[in-house]
Amino acid sequence: MRKPIVAGNWKMYKTPSEAVNFVREVGNSFVSVTGIDIVICAPFTALDRLGEAVAGKNMALGAQNMHFLKEGAFTGEIAPGMLVELGVKYVIIGHSERRQFFNETDESVNMKVKAALAAGLVPIVCVGEKLAEREVGDTFKVVDAQTRAAFAGVSQEQAKDIVIAYEPIWAIGTGKTATAQDANEVCAHIRQTVGTLYDGETAQAIRIQYGGSVKPENIAELMEQPHIDGALVGGASLQPQSFVALVQAAHKQ
């Protein structure tokens, strides 16, 4: 059985004090929750204070991006080791907003994946198609290519630790959500792709999330699907009550 994972992607929201207040409001809601990984992917500026705030609350920290080098003259960038020292466990890599607005490429995604693994971080690798690509029937082609590129040079044992987030770009922040069946079909194809890269055991071990306008109202239906192992949640993760409801709904599945 794959352990479900629900991760909140706060994007460019919440100051450090707002982030700490969020954790205070969530309180001990997750202390007794077992069998599910709960992650908050916060802005870099909030990670230090959040590390102290989430201690003992059954929540892990995630970053939203990182550089692929250990250090260097790269103004404004964050190295993997800097995240590790703050207690970060997960890092989102290749989110569609990074690809669209900050020139992330399949090549840079792959370099970041390998750097994250080398540093002991768990990559959450985002793949997904644009609306135009979906409309012409290229969904499988796009996610297949992105998955293969992200895993290039990654060993079989390392691959099992990676989390893949299928995020159809047309569903991010739009209120539109792929049907649970459609999302499961794409996640199944991604799992099949991993199987061709490694083997069936690796494909069955890897966790695949769905992301794209996930809410407390639809997360249970999504996670009922056999190939969906969790959710990467944007807007609905920003309010404490909503995030608790998301985790509770996911936990019941």
| Residue 8 assigned as binding residue | no
Instruction: Please tell me the predicted confidence (pLDDT) of residue 38.
Output: 98
Q: Confirm if 63 and 88 have CB atoms less than 8 A apart.
A: yes
Measured in whole angstroms, the distance separating CA 130 from the mean position of its chain's CA atoms is 18
The CATH number of whichever domain residue 219 belongs to comes to 3.20.20.70
| Residue 213 assigned as binding residue | yes
- What's the rounded Cα separation, in Å, for the pair 94 and 5? 18
Instruction: Please tell me the predicted confidence (pLDDT) of residue 40.
Output: 98
Which residue in the list 67, 95, 189, 227 is annotated as catalytic?
Answer: 95
Kindly provide the b/e burial profile for residues 202-233, where b requires at least 16 CB atoms within 10 angstroms of the residue's own CB.
Answer: bbebbbbbbbbbbbbebbbbbbebebbbbbbb
DSSP state of 32: T
Q: Confirm if 233 and 5 have CB atoms less than 8 A apart.
A: no
Whether residue 67 lies in the annotated active site? no
Instruction: Please tell me the predicted confidence (pLDDT) of residue 116.
Output: 98
| Residue 235 assigned as binding residue | yes
Tell me the pLDDT tens digit for each residue of 61-86: 999 999 999 999 999 999 999 999 99
Residue 1 has pLDDT above 90, yes or no: no
Measured in whole angstroms, the distance separating CA 209 from the mean position of its chain's CA atoms is 7
Tell me the pLDDT tens digit for each residue of 102-148: 999 999 999 999 999 999 999 999 999 998 899 899 999 999 999 99
Give the count of domains, the chain: 1
Instruction: Please tell me the predicted confidence (pLDDT) of residue 41.
Output: 98
Place of tokens 């080098």: 69
- What's the rounded Cα separation, in Å, for the pair 196 and 142? 16
- What's the rounded Cα separation, in Å, for the pair 193 and 162? 14
Instruction: Please tell me the predicted confidence (pLDDT) of residue 137.
Output: 93
Tell me the pLDDT tens digit for each residue of 23-62: 999 999 999 999 999 999 999 999 999 999 999 999 999 9
Whether residue 251 lies in the annotated active site? no
Q: Confirm if 113 and 147 have CB atoms less than 8 A apart.
A: no
| Residue 72 assigned as binding residue | no
**pTM: predicted TM-score of the whole model, two decimal places:** 0.96
Instruction: Please tell me the predicted confidence (pLDDT) of residue 174.
Output: 75
Instruction: Please tell me the predicted confidence (pLDDT) of residue 55.
Output: 93
Instruction: Please tell me the predicted confidence (pLDDT) of residue 253.
Output: 65
Residue 47 structural domain: 5-251
- What's the rounded Cα separation, in Å, for the pair 19 and 128? 28
Tell me the pLDDT tens digit for each residue of 193-251: 999 999 999 999 999 999 988 999 999 999 999 999 999 999 999 999 999 999 999 98
Which residue in the list 97, 167, 189, 227 is annotated as catalytic?
Answer: 167
User: In 3D, which of 226, 191, 192 has the Cα closest to residue 206?
Assistant: 191
Give the start-end residues of each E strand in the chain. 5-9, 37-41, 60-63, 88-93, 122-127, 163-166, 207-210, 230-233
| Residue 195 assigned as binding residue | no
Work out the pLDDT band at 173, boundaries 50, 70, 90.
confident
- What's the rounded Cα separation, in Å, for the pair 110 and 171? 24
